Amino acid sequence: MQTLAFTLDQIPSPIGSMLVVTDAVGQLRALDWEDYEARLLRLLRLQYPGRAVELTRGATPAAISGTLAAYFAGELSGLSTLTLETGGTAFQREVWSALREIPAGQTLSYGALATRLGRTGAARAVGLANGSNPIGIVVPCHRVIGANASLTGYGGGMHRKQWLLEHEGVLQERGAQRLVSTRR
């Protein structure tokens, strides 16, 4: 069995400690939250079937940690410059690539994302791929919402999804679960 060797680091953020997984050439392979470490490990196993994933503690490359710090400081556009690599199926990678095209401050429903991919009617499949995203924040699955503009599930916890959307300029309407963008 082939072994994939990755580096695992833990870095702080305003909404909890993040686990960052990178490879030997500095590509981002996974990003999740410390309290969801079991999920991160499960997603890595699912992404690379037939291969063992070995994680060694080490530092996150400065380009990645600096870009994440800048994002949390308000520089929202830098995440698109990060180089990443994922396993997963061709369909999952297609969805994850499309997620990176949703600009900060904007949201999209699962159905609209499916339509954007030319797969009208595949909202549930898009939702499953979205939920299998191994690189939270950078592959912004938090920007996908319900068809009625409601805040829907997030693997890192709904409080984080809400914080991330508010940080990016998407606010929840008072007394409702609907979202409104404040960015133009």
Query: pLDDT tens for residues 129-165?
Result: 999 999 999 999 999 998 888 888 888 999 999 999 9
Quick one: pLDDT at residue 180?
54
Same domain (yes/no): 62, 44: yes
What's the mean pLDDT in 19-35?
Answer: 97
Quick one: pLDDT at residue 173?
54
Domain termination residue (choose one: 81, 107, 137): 81
Range of the domain at 76: 2-81
Q: Mean pLDDT, the chain, as a whole number? A: 91
Domain termination residue (choose one: 81, 107, 136): 81
Number of domains into which the chain is organized:
2
Same domain (yes/no): 57, 96: no
pLDDT in tens, 49-97: 999 999 999 999 999 999 999 999 999 999 999 999 999 999 999 999 9
Of residues 19, 20, 129, 141, which has the active-site annotation?
A: 141
Q: What DSSP letter does each residue of 118-160 carry, written as one string?
A: T-TT-HHHHHHHHHT-SBTTTS-GGGEE-TTSB----TT-HHH
Same domain (yes/no): 119, 171: yes
DSSP state of 55: E
Q: What is the CATH number of the domain that holds 131?
A: 1.10.10.10
Same domain (yes/no): 63, 98: no
Give the lowest-confidence range in 30-39, 101-110, 124-133, 174-183. 174-183
Token readout for 12 is 């702080």
Same domain (yes/no): 148, 169: yes
Same domain (yes/no): 123, 74: no
Domain termination residue (choose one: 81, 109, 138): 81
Q: How many CB atoms lie within 10 A of CB 91?
A: 15
Q: What is the CATH number of the domain that holds 8?
A: 3.30.160
Same domain (yes/no): 74, 10: yes
Q: What are phi and psi of 81, to 5 degrees?
A: -85, -10
3-state secondary structure of 60: coil
Catalytic (active site) residue 141:
yes
